[in-house]
Amino acid sequence: MGSDVRVRFAPSPTGHLHIGNVRTALLNWLFAKHSNGTFVLRIEDTDPERSKDEYIGLIYDDLRWMKLDWDEGPDVGGLYGPYRQSERFDIYRRYAKKLLDTGKAYHCYCTPDELDTMRKEALARNESANYPGTCRNLTDEQKAAFEKEGRKPVVRFRVPEGDVKFNDLVKGEIQFDTSNIGDFVIMRQEGIPMYNFAAVVDDHLMKISHVIRGDDHVSNTPRQILMFNALEVPLPQFAHIPMILGPDRQRLSKRHGATSLDEYRDNGYLAETLVNFLSLLSWSSQSGDEILSVERLIEEFDFGRVSKSAAVFNPDKLNWMNGQYIRNTETATLTKLVLPMFQQAGYDISNKERIHQIVTVLQEKVEFLEQMVGHAKIFFQDHISITDPEARAIIHKDSAQKVLWSFLRELRSIGQLDIDIFRDIMKHVQKETGIMGKDLWMPVRVALTGEIHGPELPSVISLLGKEQCEKFVQEIVGDYR
């Protein structure tokens, strides 16, 4: 926190964090770390309709899992709290009054219904759907009349004429003509602030230096700049990062499958993967490298290298990257994550050393941890049933029977079984039967696992142990004699 850089992540507590939000949080965090600045977590829960308290905990969990730690926030406090907007309503009212007093905002008595019909009529006439300024210059008498009717006013911002220009750190210079912006509501009838207004007040009060958010907010920016100006406070810098899209180029949503962070966590994606992958959506390292540690991301992050266009979320590449991380992660770490999944599947996890070995074998094969459950099935069977037609065909061959009988005899003749001994055994079997290659190995694989695919056989036999192997082979040669 050695610099004046202060950024904020300001989610609405509506559930688990969405991939897009996580990316916004991540880029804010990366920029804060890169600049030695402060990362503020602010909860935007002004709308009682959609905000739920219990969801705030979910947001903490998601952020913590990603290791995106915040310096100020509702739970840790800070100099500029409270950090929940629902606890700052008096502040917004005070600022609204300030604007009202200086004539930069005014009361509007139009009802939602009236607004709606006005909008429809305007559209029908092919005119702008913006608020036409009906209550812009109400006399005291008119106001009194409305009040007498029992109407409760909203507060509207009086949009001044002119151009609003700003230099976006990602998109460059952007300009708006305010004639395209209608006077907008900053305080609802119930005295609840609108998002645009609360954000401006808070960004100012919390001394936010850089507003980093999705580019769906670009069009909101001129409104906010107008409000900063009306409040006569300095402007933050803006950086609008591109949207994340689904394969159909529509904004990423539930229809596209897993979009909520916890789904990835539950399926055994690693937090490091998500950090790496999400940072690469619309940003790239100058080096061209794609597997980047968080330290490197922090070091190299730069708005100049954030692309301007939206990015389609590519699950295939995420899977590939997660596989990379799984292969490079300590087996013990993976085991800890896999244990509950195995337990859930009903596997016997009492032998931790064995589980560790299984994970060692499987971490070379999977793209996400949940896949280990299926692959591990062969290590927890106490009977082999062969359902795959291809496997049955293999085991039915005469040569297979020869191999298995020979293999069984060898097994019985040895004291214990390990990888080297297994290799010797297979050599003997080959010599004795004259069978080699596929015809030699596949029957053993099928007999031991019931499958035609799986980890390399030496790993399988050492995990199964002599007794299991003997039992399985015996059962098979018995069944198919």
Partner RNA sequence: GGCGCGUUCGUCUAGCGGUUAGGACGCCGGCCUCUCACGCCGGUAGCACGGGUUCGAUUCCCGUACGCGCUACCA
The residues in 32-61 that bind RNA, with binding defined as CB under 7 A, are: 44, 46-47, 49-50
Tokens of 319: 């899977």
Q: Kindly report the number of other CB atoms within 10 A of residue 410's CB atom.
A: 19
Q: Please select the residue that binds RNA; options are 12, 38, 331, 406, rule is CB under 7 A.
A: 12
DSSP 167: E
Q: Report the nearest approach of RNA to the CB of residue 4 (Å).
A: 25
Residue 72 or residue 215: which is nearer to RNA going by CB? 215
Residue 129 or residue 393: which is nearer to RNA going by CB? 129
Q: Residue 437, interface with RNA (CB under 7 A)?
A: yes
Q: Residue 195, interface with RNA (CB under 7 A)?
A: yes
Question: What is the spatial distance between Cα 280 and Cα 26, in angstroms, rounded to a whole number?
Answer: 11
Handedness of CA 207, 209, 210, 216 (dihedral sign): positive
Q: Residue 431, interface with RNA (CB under 7 A)?
A: no
Identify residues 100-139 at the interface with RNA (CB under 7 A): 110-112, 115, 119, 123, 126, 128-131
Q: One-letter amino acid identity for 246? A: G
Q: Which stretch binds RNA (CB under 7 A): 53-61, 76-84, 186-194, 340-348?
A: 186-194
Q: Please select the residue that binds RNA; options are 327, 396, 409, 412, rule is CB under 7 A.
A: 327
Residue 13 or residue 37: which is nearer to RNA going by CB? 13
Distance of CA 192 to the CA centre of its chain: 30
Distance of CA 315 to the CA centre of its chain: 12
Q: Please select the residue that binds RNA; options are 242, 294, 406, 410, rule is CB under 7 A.
A: 242
Question: What is the spatial distance between Cα 101 and Cα 105, in angstroms, rounded to a whole number?
Answer: 8
Q: Which stretch binds RNA (CB under 7 A): 7-15, 61-69, 350-358, 381-389?
A: 7-15
Q: Residue 243, interface with RNA (CB under 7 A)?
A: yes
Q: Residue 286, interface with RNA (CB under 7 A)?
A: yes
Tokens of 370: 């949940």
Question: What is the spatial distance between Cα 447 and Cα 456, in angstroms, rounded to a whole number?
Answer: 14
Q: Kindly report the number of other CB atoms within 10 A of residue 120's CB atom.
A: 11
- Residue in the block written with tokens 């992660």: 329
Residue 209 or residue 276: which is nearer to RNA going by CB? 276
Q: Please select the residue that binds RNA; options are 174, 231, 337, 339, rule is CB under 7 A.
A: 174
Question: What is the spatial distance between Cα 426 and Cα 199, in angstroms, rounded to a whole number?
Answer: 71
Residue 35 or residue 279: which is nearer to RNA going by CB? 279
Q: Residue 290, interface with RNA (CB under 7 A)?
A: yes
Q: Residue 154, interface with RNA (CB under 7 A)?
A: yes
Identify residues 344-383 at the interface with RNA (CB under 7 A): 364-366
Question: What is the spatial distance between Cα 94 and Cα 286, in angstroms, rounded to a whole number?
Answer: 47
Identify residues 198-217 at the interface with RNA (CB under 7 A): 198, 215-217
Q: Please select the residue that binds RNA; options are 52, 97, 120, 305, rule is CB under 7 A.
A: 305
Total residues at the site for RNA (CB under 7 A)? 91
Question: What is the spatial distance between Cα 93 and Cα 385, in angstroms, rounded to a whole number?
Answer: 72
CB–CB of 156/109 below 8 Å? no
Strand 185-187 with 154-157, pairing: antiparallel
Tokens of 212: 């980093």
